[in-house]
Amino acid sequence: MPVYEYKALDAAGKTITGIIDAGTAKEARAKLKRQNVFVTKVVEAGEGVSLTAEVRVSRLVWRVRRQDVVVMTRQLATLLKSGMPLVQALSAISEQLEGYPMQRIVYGVRERVNAGQPLADALEQHPKLFNALYVNMVRAGEAAGALEAILLRLADYMEATQRQRTKIIASLIYPTLMLIVGTGVLIFLMTFVVPRLTQIFSEMGQGLPTMTKILISISDFFASWWFVGFLAVLVVAIVLIHIYTRRGRGRYLLHRLRLKLPVAGTLIRKLAVARFARTLGTLLAGGIPLLRSLEIVRGVVGNEVIAHEVGEARDRIAEGASMSDELRRSGEFPPIVVHMVAVGEASGSLEEMLFNVAETYDNEVETSTNSLIALLEPLMIVLMGLVVGFIVLSVLLPIFEMNKFAR
């Protein structure tokens, strides 16, 4: 059902704005009229036209972020835990989100719940925000009568996942910035500075050192259309590779290659294992059956190779095999993970063991990332120093030879 943004006057003559869902704009006006307000404007939200400056800014600058979903989930759990009815809790969250894109989503969910739909079905209408894991957890919580506990568990899960992602991104900001700045400076030197310096040597007609000749050749390449053509070919190649690896066999091969990369491959595997363990543990703790949990985990684990093995394991577990044996058979899971899962299966504490695996590998990922960044930064500095040193020597050597001949 479409969602409309409206502007109206209440009984006191005060201007109010908000959102409402209805089949047509006429139905939206009738619905608002029954709320004793005088409607001055109604615009469908999907048209991209906003009613207030605040909403216009939000449309241009803000999008619904993962963090918005986390906050909404925790707030909803807190309100339900305090004894507030579900529809009233959704209304309170919707009012608090006024002017934010997330408000339309929450309002639509509230209207569907108010019309008699289960919360899980209402959330399922927005798959980009609420994935299969989220919807199935909510459905299990509704069935068990423990929705607030499930929502709190979901919020903890999403916060842990977001925290891990944020740490990795924060660690990569500085070396990435160094790489961009260093590359920009190098292109500037080769395109504008070095040609003017080497032109003097070329006009003198004397023999130049090998280093200087190499520098002149590199500079000519950067300053010519060959460089532009090279960049164009590189961009086209990247786009074609991206298209090929978006799905199917190409995506599987790319993810297989990632796992085999030196250093980075180990880190990627640890990330995937941590995501597998945390997601599966969260689903099992929420009351989702093992086979259904594995099916959901397969879609969110983040690596096609491991996802394929999870799918294979699920099929064999359905035939009576144990999960630890199937993880060992795949060869994609570290032995320590297999042993911890086996202990969890034997003791009946599989969820707890999976959470321990996730925490262990989260710590290992953080430690490995910090160590890699600590090693990468000085290497980049040394590399930039070597490049600058090569340029300086290539420029100075002819000058030294000129002074030698002058004597």
CB 268 within 8 A of CB 259: yes
Q: Span 165-407: which CATH code?
A: 1.20.81.30
Domain boundaries, the chain: 3-61, 66-158, 165-407
Give residue 51's pLDDT.
Answer: 38
Contact present, 85 and 148 (Cβ < 8 Å): no
pLDDT value of residue 52 = 42
Q: Do domains 66-158 and 165-407 have the same CATH topology?
A: yes
In this structure, which CATH number among 3.40.50.2000, 3.40.50.10070, 3.20.20.105, 1.20.81.30 belongs to the domain 66-158?
A: 1.20.81.30
Tell me how far the alpha carbon of residue 130 is from its chain's centroid: 14
List the beta bridge partners of residue 39.
8
248-257, long-range: CB < 8 A, 24+ apart: 251/304, 252/304, 252/305, 252/308, 254/304, 255/303, 255/304, 255/305, 256/304, 256/305
Q: Which residues in 141-171 are b (16+ Cβ under 10 Å) and which e?
A: bbeeeebbbbbbbbbbbbebbeebeeeeeeb
Q: What is the Cα–Cα distance from 241 to 236, expressed in whole angstroms? A: 9
Q: Could you list the pLDDT tens digit for every one of the 407 residues in the chain?
A: 566 777 777 777 777 776 676 777 777 788 877 877 787 887 776 433 333 444 444 443 456 777 888 888 989 999 998 888 998 898 888 877 766 778 888 888 888 888 888 999 999 888 888 888 888 888 888 887 888 888 888 888 888 888 878 887 887 788 888 888 888 888 787 777 777 777 776 666 667 778 888 888 887 777 776 667 777 888 888 888 888 777 778 888 888 898 888 878 888 898 889 889 988 988 888 888 899 889 888 888 888 899 999 999 999 999 988 999 999 998 889 999 999 999 999 988 898 999 999 889 888 888 888 888 888 878 888 888 888 888 888 878 777 776 665 55
SS (H, E, C) 318-372: HCCCCHHHHHHHHCCCCHHHHHHHHHHHHHCCHHHHHHHHHHHHHHHHHHHHHHH
pLDDT at 50: 39
